[in-house]
Amino acid sequence: MAELPGSDLAFMRAALTHAAAAGERGEVPVGAVLVRGGQIIATGGNSPVASHDPTAHAEVEALRAGGRALGSYRLTDTTLYVTLEPCVMCAAAMVHARVRRLVFGAFDPRAGAAGSITDVFALPELNHRVDVFGGVLMEECGLLLQQFFAARR
């Protein structure tokens, strides 16, 4: 694995905090933080159950909050940290929002769209490229999900 800037680890730990909070609310524990200029500008945690909204994934919640914070849907020069590899919907939203970089934790072999089942970010027809780096704090991110689902079985 390439050397990570220290801030990548710190921002992923912040995303893990939001994931844990989502899990405590009974949501699948996925968290996200959106960073620009070294500062967290928006956060999100999974909330589709409570909001009755199938699009209320952590990434989408963070992108929505980021758009409000910046006054624009174009989130250029941002990095999104998320504890789980994004699904197709979330990956496409990042492309449309013009996120510069995605850093994620655990891979998702059932729904991951950054290489696990497909790679939305590699589609040549899309007009924006997102730099993707996966596997950051993968064990911690994966353990949070495993514990959540084990408690429900």
pTM over 0.75: yes
Give me the catalytic one of 27, 59, 61, 85: 59
pLDDT in tens, 2-33: 445 569 999 999 999 999 999 999 999 999 99
pLDDT in tens, 48-58: 999 999 999 99
In whole angstroms, what is the distance from residue 6 CA to residue 38 CA? 11
What percentage of residues in the chain have a pLDDT greater than 90?
94
Can 59 be counted among the known catalytic residues?
yes
Locate the DSSP E strands across the chain.
31-36, 39-45, 78-84, 101-106, 131-134
